[in-house]
């Protein structure tokens, strides 16, 4: 489980965030060969975050990469931009980084290794509203651009809080996916989270939206559509037993790519129908994917970021 090997993330307290003995990431000549756990496009740039606190940025469509100074040397697991200027990165050791200059520089918003908590992903859906997901069912929501956060504990059973992996918004609703079949749904995306009966017992690693439904994926090639109105499941036959770890939609939302272990790349159309299943001959384990222009960027456990054309993957 790549996500379980590298992730673990948690969150901030309310207004004050102490910094304890943080060490800056080293500037490394081979930083572009590091293992990256999340990719994000912002404006005309591609960002990559991953092991050893490394943050990379490419302004020339992946032809070259610049290592940006990072105030921590811990594994970074997620990145999201809330506006043209503001960005957020999360990672191990209860790390949250914040940028106010479109990702050119980053400062520590929260870092507390003594908490023994880890953050798994971050997702801002507007300049003011964002989510950070962590271990032990911890979901934090901000409605004021990260000035304050409200903590909610999500759990399927009282005795166990599932680690949370990803969240997606669809209209006013929100869906959180977690380990051990944990699925949590909110009608307003903020409160009254309810556990949804999972179609299988394994972990879910990601969620996207397609065809006015949630696209949910996880272990052993499991891929489902979930209706936010009926909370009914529809299984998609993927023809693979590889773990599915990340996804991205094209700007027009007509195509969604889901990637995972063993070089798996699944291509779905705007109705949620699987139109192509690719198994990269290298069999690398893909950890993240994003799109900029006519190109798809993929990070893998082999290290670095690979660029492929949209046409190459959809034809």
Q: Which residue has the tokens 């948690």?
A: 10
Q: What is the pLDDT of residues 288-300, one digit of tens each?
A: 999 999 999 999 9
Contact criterion met (CB below 8 Å) for 314 and 74: no
Question: pTM score > 0.75 for this model?
Answer: yes
**Is residue 1 scored above 70 in pLDDT?**
no
State the Cα–Cα distance between residues 8 and 117, nearest whole angstrom.
7
Number of domains in the chain: 1
The CATH code of the domain that includes 60 is 2.130.10.10
Could you give phi then psi for residue 42, rounded to 5 degrees?
Answer: -145, 125
pLDDT band at 20 (very low <50, low <70, confident <90, very high): low
**Is residue 6 scored above 50 in pLDDT?**
no
**Is residue 203 scored above 70 in pLDDT?**
yes
Q: Which of 163, 171, 86, 75 is nearest to 124 (CA)?
A: 86
Average pLDDT, the chain: 91
State the Cα–Cα distance between residues 261 and 61, nearest whole angstrom.
25
Q: Which of 191, 192, 222 is nearest to 206 (CA)?
A: 222
Spacing of C-alpha 246 from chain mean position = 7
| Token reading at 19 | 């910094």
**Is residue 112 scored above 60 in pLDDT?**
yes
Contact criterion met (CB below 8 Å) for 76 and 68: no
60: Cβ contacts below 8 Å, ≥ 6 apart: none
**Is residue 176 scored above 90 in pLDDT?**
yes
pLDDT at residue 13 in the model: 29
Mean pLDDT of 184-201: 94
Domain assignment of residue 168, given as a range:
2-314
pLDDT at residue 273 in the model: 95
| Token reading at 217 | 């994926």
| Token reading at 240 | 């693979």
CA angle centred on 313, ends 311 and 314, rounded to 5°: 65
């Amino acid at each position: 489980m790549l996500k379980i090997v590298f992730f673990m993330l948690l969150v901030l307290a309310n207004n004050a965030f102490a910094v304890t003995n943080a060490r800056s990431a080293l500037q490394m000549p081979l930083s572009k060969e590091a293992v990256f756990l999340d990719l994000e496009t912002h404006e005309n740039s591609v960002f990559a975050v991953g092991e050893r606190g490394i943050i990379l940025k490419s302004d020339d469509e992946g032809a070259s990469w610049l290592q940006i100074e990072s105030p921590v040397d811990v594994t970074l697991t997620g990145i999201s931009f809330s506006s043209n200027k503001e960005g957020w990165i999360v990672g191990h050791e209860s790390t949250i980084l914040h940028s106010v200059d479109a990702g050119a520089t980053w400062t520590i918003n929260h870092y507390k290794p003594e908490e023994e908590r880890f953050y798994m992903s971050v997702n801002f859906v507007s300049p003011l509203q964002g989510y950070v997901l962590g271990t032990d069912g911890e979901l934090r929501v901000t409605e004021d651009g990260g000035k304050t956060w409200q903590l909610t504990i999500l759990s399927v059973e009282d005795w166990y809080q599932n680690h949370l992996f990803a969240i997606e918004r669809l209209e006013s609703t929100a869906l959180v996916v977690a380990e051990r079949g944990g699925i949590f749904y909110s009608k307003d995306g903020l409160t009254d989270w309810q556990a949804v009966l999972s179609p299988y017992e394994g972990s879910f690693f990601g969620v996207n939206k397609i065809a006015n439904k949630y696209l949910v994926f996880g272990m052993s090639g499991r891929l489902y559509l979930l209706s936010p109105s009926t909370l009914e499941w529809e299984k998609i036959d993927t023809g693979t037993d590889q773990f599915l770890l990340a996804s991205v939609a094209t700007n027009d939302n007509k195509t969604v790519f889901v990637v995972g272990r063993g070089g798996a790349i699944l291509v779905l159309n705007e109705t949620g129908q699987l139109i192509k299943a690719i198994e990269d001959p290298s069999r690398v384990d893909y950890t993240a994917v994003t799109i900029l222009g006519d190109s798809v960027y993929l990070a893998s456990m082999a290290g670095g970021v690979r660029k492929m054309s949209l046409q190459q993957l959809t034809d």
